[in-house]
Structure 1
Amino acid sequence: MHIHYISEQNSILNHFLAQIRDIHIQKDSMRFRKNIERIGEIMAYELSKTLEYRAIDVQTPLGIKHTTTIAEPVVLCSILRAGLALHQGFMNFFDNAENGFVSAYRHHYDNDDKFDILVEYQAAPSFEGKNLILIDPMLATGQSIVAVLHKLHLEQKPKEIHIAVVIATPEGIDYLQKNLPENCHLWVAALDDRLNEKNYILPGLGDAGDLAYGSKL
């Protein structure tokens, strides 16, 4: 798996990352969503540098300009519900992309710290021969992403798989490396320290879905 850490060099990305972690700024859910969206735009721009392009001629009012455009189709697929704001940032840049959505959540059978990942709702186009970008803000254990990818392309083979996460842990990255094909790309905005005993990211930022859309039952 190819891993891209995009916050290693100081940029406006780190400014937005600091704000989504700040417990005082987090109280404004609209601002939290907007900052996640901005992070998605930055990640989309960085990811776009690795795609294939083809030459085109564009007619301007005064002549012809030789330039390039993305050569192959892109599919954006988000894990509900936390991925929606990040998805919007990617859509702002990949405006011609097809879109898919899938649900995945931790199911605690005995109300303890043990859980299974349940993948239920799915609405997605064909990925065959396309660039699939799977979007999920938090990479904790990595189990959700692996479960979703196994469900999405058992019978379809994307040209390339890109996984975009805002915050990741070493444990989650290690799990993806052991369970996903080598041709996958992982895009990480920030790498955090570790998981705690409940498999929450430290220092993390809390529950991204709740911060963006309100607490759930």
Structure 2
Amino acid sequence: MDGVTVIDHPLVQHKLTIMRDKETSTAGFRQLLREIATLLCYEVTRDLELSLTEIETPLETMQAPMLTGKKLVFASVLRAGNGLLEGMLDLVPSARVAHVGLYRDPKTLTAVEYYFKAPDDIADRLTIVVDPMLATANSAVAAVERLKERGAKELRFVCLLAAPEGVERFRGEHPDVPIYTAAIDRQLNEKGYIVPGLGDAGDRMYGTK
């Protein structure tokens, strides 16, 4: 699909399979999500710009590459996005963090905002939006729209699982925002859940229903 990168690294796929298993514990699910987030972060930041700087090793002076250009903002779509956020911060601890609080109305499946907080300089940073599931895409579309209203100009969206319907909707609303995911599953069911999927990521991560 245009604008969509499926990260099929063997470690990602192995960990995702364990997460899909309904017998995986809450603690195990949470740990695996954090580990996969680090691997997804590795891929979504693959093209960050580098510049050379002079350093001294124990043996000699050299020109060595370091990150340059735009700094990062990780934007977590609450609450499940925090599971990906923690793993990404492990890899890039200096990144700023935005939070977009949205819940899905159980009847209409539309996204309802209840919280928003983002860095003032978000316009000058690459914003990576994180949410484990891209199902109907209602929450993802609303989150990206809110971040754009705040000034975000360069955005990427990272999820663990996506449905074809969600990908189509998101790309239709935000064709300028690339999607990075570990898998695109078969479809949505009548309740708007991804199948075969892994259930509700937030509930499985926090042990709630």
Distance in 2 (alpha carbons) for counterparts of 1:11 and 1:56 = 34
Task: Please name the residue that 1:193 is paired with.
Answer: 186
Q: Among all aligned residue pairs of Structure 1 and Structure 2, give the percentage whose two residues are the same amino acid.
A: 33
TM-aligned CA deviation for residue 155 of structure 1: 4.2
Q: Is residue 73 of structure 1 aligned with residue 71 of structure 2? A: yes
- 1:85-133 deviations in Å (ceiling 9; x for gaps): 211111111121111111111123xxx4x23210121121131121000
Task: Please name the residue that 1:215 is paired with.
Answer: 208
Task: Please name the residue that 2:155 is paired with.
Answer: 161
Q: Is residue 133 of structure 1 aligned with residue 131 of structure 2? A: no
On the 8 A contact 2:80/2:202 being kept in 1, the answer is yes
Distance in 2 (alpha carbons) for counterparts of 1:204 and 1:64 = 51
- What does 1:1-217 correspond to in 2, within 5 Å? 2-7=3-8, 10-25=9-24, 28-71=25-68, 72-108=70-106, 112=107, 114-126=108-120, 127-158=122-153, 160-182=154-176, 184-216=177-209
Q: TM-score, normalised by structure 2?
A: 0.93
Distance in 2 (alpha carbons) for counterparts of 1:46 and 1:190 = 14
Mind listing any 5+ residue stretches in structure 1 that lack a counterpart?
Answer: none
Aligned-residue Cα RMSD (Å) equals 1.4
Mind listing any 5+ residue stretches in structure 2 that lack a counterpart?
Answer: none
Distance in 2 (alpha carbons) for counterparts of 1:91 and 1:18 = 23
Secondary structure at the aligned position of 1:177 is classed as helix
- 1:121-152 deviations in Å (ceiling 9; x for gaps): 11211311210000000000111011111112
Cα gap change, 1:189/1:179 in structure 2, threshold over 3 Å: closer, same or farther? Answer: same
Distance in 1 (alpha carbons) for counterparts of 2:169 and 2:89 = 28
Distance in 1 (alpha carbons) for counterparts of 2:93 and 2:62 = 22
Q: TM-score, normalised by structure 1?
A: 0.90
Distance in 2 (alpha carbons) for counterparts of 1:67 and 1:3 = 32
Following superposition, which runs of at least 4 residues in structure 1 exceed 6 angstroms of deviation?
Answer: none
